[in-house]
Homo-oligomer: A and B are copies of this chain.
Amino acid sequence: MFKLLILFVSLAGQATAATTNLPVSFGVVLFPAFQALDVFGPLDALNLLAFQYPVNLSLIAGTLDPVSTKPRSGAMNPMNSNFSESVLPTHTFATAPPLDVLIVPGGLGTRATDLNDTIDFVRETFPTLQYFVSVCTGAGIAARAGILDGKDATTNKRAWNSTVVWGPQTNWITHARWVVDGNIWTTSGVSAGLDGMLAFIDAIYGADVALNIANGMEYVRVTNSSDDPFADLYGL
């Protein structure tokens, strides 16, 4: 009986090996013309995780002004639509608290030439993180920050060519819904961020936790990281 108890404790210890140091403090960087679902796919999953684990979120930008999905130029808004959403940051790059997980979304805004403060923040924060997650062309920001050098990574498939040029030292994986290399998670385009985040929750908090969240979202998720029809669709 004593031996059985020891074994049980040991097994439980193994099963939750990754949980001894569970991430608590999450951050998301916001920049003009971010892609909405890149942010709110992963965050909706994490909003539900927050009912089961004590976690906190910082939304981090250059200033505390609302950050909009609005296209940054007329060329990026050919129909002259007035269609965007604005999200309120909680912190600036200067005031962000220590983070366990940093999430970098993508979007047309990643093509901007004035993202140095965002890129610097990613570069300077990375060494203190438990995990880094990029969604979509957010991998381009990560690459420009140098943190994907020598790493396996993926990114948006439609914007593949214009993104991978930022990471000449990166081993870009074409057929991947998401890629894990050490503590770096990179996902493919837009909706892939939700699958990547659910896989992250699965790996870090447990399969039952991820399944419960996906079921709560009524989402049939992609569980095979190499299941990626869009690589073929876009001729990669």
Contacts and interface: CB of A to CB of B under 8 A. Distances in A.
A88 B89 CA distance: 11
Interface stretch (A12-20, A32-40, A144-152): A32-40
B36 A218 contact: no
B215 A191 contact: no
A230 B156 CA distance: 29
A155 to B, nearest CB: 11
Interface SS of chain A: loop
Interface string A194-223: 100000000000000000000111111010
A73 interface: no
A205 to B, nearest CB: 12
A2 interface: no
Contact of A87 (B56, B57, B85): B85
Contacts of A41: 37, 40-41
Contacts of A31: none
